[in-house]
Amino acid sequence: MGQKTHPVGYRLSVNKDWLSKWYASKNNFSSELEEDLKIRKYINHRIPNAAVSKVEIARTSKRVTITIFTARPGIVIGRGGEEVNRLKKEIRQLTDNKDAQINISEIKRPEMDAGLVGANIAHQLKKKISYRRVVNKSIQSTMRMGADGIRINVAGRLGGVEIARSEKFMDGSVPLHTLRADIDYALTEAKTAYGIIGIKVWICNGQFDNKRKNK
């Protein structure tokens, strides 16, 4: 019987990488893990309009290196680097005055990023736009950019009905059992007047064997 597996966790060390890259002793592991969660939560609340997809954290004994993947790097950097310098100071306070280095990586095709597609759907659902219209538009945009396939699940009180339900939308091929498939996955929540609507997005960006041949 098939079991549900996280698409990124399933492919770790095959073609996906960890978002936290550090080693800690048994005594320090829990505190540093909690610190990572605080940093990610803080960045998402601090710059909500910057279209941040993910945050990678690498550590040494005295330094924390944070890489922010965003579709709007200008908002993160600010005028003359003011915003990013302010963010560094605030993160130092979260990490007990460790030296904080912030790198910014631009996402040039946000339609191909599962996290950003999910965030865009959530933003529009909060404005009470029809979920079918929003999801179909997102699928068309992603497929137009050259994705092999996309699958979107939405669950909750869709359209404000009394009984919650889930609906699945799909286009193209999304082979979740194929390890070499480059699957991007994200879970996003939209807090609407009727309650929380969960949005799961899977995007297939081809297969790694084919990518190597094309190179």
Beta bridge partners of residue 153, listed in sequence order: 168, 200
Output the pLDDT for position 164: 94
- The pLDDT tens digits for 151-177 are 999 999 998 899 999 999 999 999 988
Q: Model confidence at 13, in pLDDT bands (50, 70, 90)?
A: confident
- Two structure tokens written together for 115: 């996290």
Residue 94's region, left for phi above 0, alpha for psi from -120 to 50, else beta, is alpha
Domain tally, the chain: 2
Whether residues 151 and 60 share a domain: the answer is no
CATH code for position 86: 3.30.300.20
CATH code for position 145: 3.30.1140.32
- The pLDDT tens digits for 91-143 are 988 888 788 899 999 999 999 999 999 999 999 999 999 999 999 999 999 99
C-alpha span between 113 and 184 (Å, rounded): 7
C-alpha span between 96 and 171 (Å, rounded): 47
Nearest CA-CA partner of 51 in 122, 107, 103, 130: 107
C-alpha span between 122 and 125 (Å, rounded): 5
Whether residues 79 and 173 share a domain: the answer is no
Whether residues 125 and 204 share a domain: the answer is yes
Residue 27 domain flag: yes
Residue 14's region, left for phi above 0, alpha for psi from -120 to 50, else beta, is alpha
- The pLDDT tens digits for 57-83 are 999 888 899 999 999 999 999 888 888
Range of the domain at 196: 110-214
- Whether pTM > 0.85 for this model: the answer is yes
Decide: helix, strand or coil at residue 23.
Answer: coil
3-state SS track over 51-99:
CEEEEEEEECCCEEEEEEEECCHHHHHCHHHHHHHHHHHHHHHHCCCCE
- Sheet containing 195-207, strands listed edge to edge, beginning at the edge strand earlier in sequence: 165-172, 149-156, 195-207, 181-192
- Name the strand (E) or helix (H) holding 143: helix 131-144
Residue 205 domain flag: yes
Output the pLDDT for position 145: 93
Which one of 91, 106, 121 terminates a domain?
106
Nearest CA-CA partner of 135 in 179, 166, 104: 166
- The pLDDT tens digits for 33-66 are 999 999 999 999 998 888 999 999 999 888 899 9
Residue 2 domain flag: no
Output the pLDDT for position 214: 54
Which one of 106, 126, 152 terminates a domain?
106
| All residues at 6 or more sequence positions from 159 whose CB lies less than 8 Å from its CB, including other chains | 130, 131
- Two structure tokens written together for 144: 């137009």
Which one of 50, 84, 106 terminates a domain?
106
Whether residues 89 and 126 share a domain: the answer is no
Whether residues 91 and 116 share a domain: the answer is no
